[in-house]
Chains A and B, each alone.
Chain A
Amino acid sequence: MHGLPQAEPTNATIRPGAAARRSPGWRISRRVRIGLASLIGTFALWWLLTDITGVIGPHRFPAPAEFWAAFVQIAIDGYAGGTLITQAWYSTRLVIMGFLVAIATGVPLGLLMGVSHRAEALLNPAFLLVRPIPPLAWIPLAIVWLGLGDAAKILVIWFAAFVPSVINTWTGVRGVDRTLIAAARVHGAGELRLLWEVIIPGSLPMMFTGLRLSLQASWTTLVAAELVGAFFGLGRVLDAAYRDINPPMIAVAMLAVGVLGALTTRLVAVAERRLIPWRS
C-alpha cells in the first residue's frame, strides 16, 4: 500500500464552502486595493483642479481645505440646527422607517398580486394609474396633509419605495419556475407550504432587487422632501447651505447622503446574502 497516494473521499475534497471561503477573501482584498486607488485618484484630481491649478474656482466647488473646515464646523458646532451626527441620524431614521413601512406593505401586496389572478385584476388598473406619477410629485400633497414633520416624510418615502417592492415581488412570484411548483404539488404540498417553501424563496432574488430600488427611492425622496421643507435632516442642511451660499457645506451634506446611502444599501446586501445562501 505504501507509496501509493491515498485518494481522499470526495466529500472531504469538495466540502462546500471550502473553496468559496477562500476566493471572496482574496477578491475583497483586491477590491479594497482598487477601491483605495480610486479614492486616492479622485482626491488627487480634486486637489489638482481646485488648489493647484484653480480650474474650478472656490465659488463653484470647495477645495479640500475648505471642505474639511465645513466638515469640522458641522461635526462639532453644528449647522442648520444640529451637528452632522444628529442631522444624519435624523434622515437615516426617517429613511429606515419609511422603507420598512413600504416593504412591509409592498412585499405582501406583490405576493398577493403574484399568487392571485383576482387580486391582480383588481389592483393592477389602480397601479397602472398611480405608477407613472413621480414620487416627488407627492411631496406637496403630503406637506398639505401632514405638515413639515416626520409623518409627511414617511408618507412620501412610502409612496416612492412602495412601488418597486410591489412590482419586483410580483415579477419574482411570476418568474418562479413552474416545474418547481408542480414538483411541490405532486409531493403533497398544500397552498401554505407552497407559498412559504417554494414561491417566497423562489422570488427572493427579485424581491431583493426591488428592495434595493426601494431603498434608493427612499433616500432620493427624503432628501427632496427635506429640501422642500423640514426642521432637521441632511436635506435641511443642503437647503440652509444653499441659502447661505456655502458650497463647502453643500458638498459635506452631499457626501454624507452618499455615504449613508451606500451603508444602508450594504445592509440590504448583507441581508440578501444571508437569506439566499443557495446562490453560488
Chain B
Amino acid sequence: MKDIRFDNVTKSFPTRSGTPFVAIRDVSLAVAEREFVAVVGPSGSGKTTLMRMAAGLDHPSEGSVRVGGREVTAPGPDRAVVFQQFALFPWKTVRENIAFGLRCKGVPRARQDEIVAHYLKLMSMEGTEDRFPHQLSGGMQQRVAIARSYAIEPDVLLMDEPFGALDAQTRTVMQEELVRLTRKEPRTVLFITHAVDEAVYLADRVVVLARDPGRLREIIDIRPTREAEDWDSRPIDQVMDLASFTHLRTQVWRLLRDQIRPDD
C-alpha cells in the first residue's frame, strides 16, 4: 500500500489576462496508507484539481505531491481514478470497459472474465455486459466506472464525486458497499464529495476546503468516533441517526456554511 502526501502545494493556471489564476494555495495534506480521506468543499475550491495532481494528470506549480514516497510525474495504474464525468469509453461495452485496466496489466482472459462477473454482480448489473455506455442510465454508467477502477486493485483510489449521479437508494447501497470493500481490503482512498453525510459516513478523516483561492480549512477526525461506536457493523440509516454522527456532520456543515457568502 502507498500513502499520499501533498506538501505546500500551490496550483495556478495561466489566464488570458496574464495574471495566473490560483486554484489551490499552499495545501499540505497527508493521507496515510490504508486511510480513507474525504474532501469536501464548495464548488471551485479545487477538489478536482487536488485529485488530478495525485493522479499525475496535473502538476503542482509549487510544492510536491508524492505517492508511496515517490514524486508523482505521470499517471500510473497504482492510482486508479473514478472521474466526476464517468469517462467510460463509448466504443467499449460494459464488459470491455471494466476489463480495460486488467487487459493493460496483462491479466489472463479467464481471470478477467471472473473479475468482471464479480463486479457486475456486486454492482447488481448482471445482464448488461454487452451494452454500450449510451444504453445505460447515468447511475449505471457510474457503477461501471467504479467497477473499472476497483477491478485493477490499485494501491490508491482517487474518487471524484463517484456517487454524484446516483439516486438516493443506489447511492446508499454503493456507500455501504464501499465501506464493506475498503474495510475488508483497506486501500488508500482520496474521496471527493459535495455531500457532507457521505463524507462523514465513509471517511477516517474529513478535509474541508475553502475557496478563492482553494485552501485547507480544517481537518476533522472521524475514525475515533466511528470505532468507538462501531459504525461499520451497523446499517447506514442507523449510523446516520446516531447523535455522534449528527454532531460530526453539523461540525463539517458549519465549516462549509461559514464560507457561503451572500452572492452565492
Partners in one complex: yes
Instruction: Name the one of A185, A276, A278 contacting B75, with C-beta atoms under 8 angstroms.
Output: A185
Size class of B's contact patch? 35 or more
**Looking at the complex, which one of A9, A186, A190, A193 makes contact with B81 (CB distance below 8 Å)?**
A186
In the complex, the chain B residue whose C-beta lies closest to that of A182 is B57
Kindly report which residue of chain B lies nearest to residue A201, judged by CB atoms.
B91
- Check B76–A182 contact: CB distance below 8 A: no
Rounded to whole Å, the gap between the CB of A173 and the closest CB of chain B is 15
Do B80 and A186 touch across chains, with their CB atoms under 8 A apart?
yes
User: CA separation between A10 and B135, bound complex, in Å?
Assistant: 13
Interface residues of A in 1-39 (CB under 8 A from B): 9-11, 14, 16
Contact status A179-B87, CB under 8 Å: yes
For the complex, give the distance between the alpha carbons of A276 and B92 in Å.
11
Main secondary structure of the interface of A (DSSP, over half): helix
Residues of chain A in range 177-197 having any CB-CB distance to chain B below 8 Å: 177, 179-180, 182-190, 193, 197
Is B130 in contact with chain A by the CB < 8 A criterion? yes
* A148 sits at the interface (CB 8 A): no
Chain A residues bordering chain B, tally (CB within 8 A) = 27
Please state if B130 and A16 are interface contacts (CB–CB under 8 Å). yes
A187 and B133 alpha carbons, distance in the complex (Å): 18
A183 touches B83 (CB 8 A): yes
Which 7 pairs from chain A and chain B are nearest by CB? A188-B77, A11-B127, A188-B104, A187-B101, A183-B87, A185-B75, A201-B91
Residues of B whose CB lies within 8 Å of any CB of A are 52, 55-57, 74-77, 79-81, 83, 85, 87-92, 100-101, 104-105, 126-128, 130-135, 148-149, 152, 158
A–B Cβ pairs within 8 angstroms, 18 of them: A10-B127, A11-B126, A11-B128, A14-B135, A16-B130, A16-B132, A179-B83, A179-B87, A182-B83, A183-B88, A186-B55, A186-B76, A186-B79, A187-B152, A188-B101, A188-B104, A197-B100, A278-B134
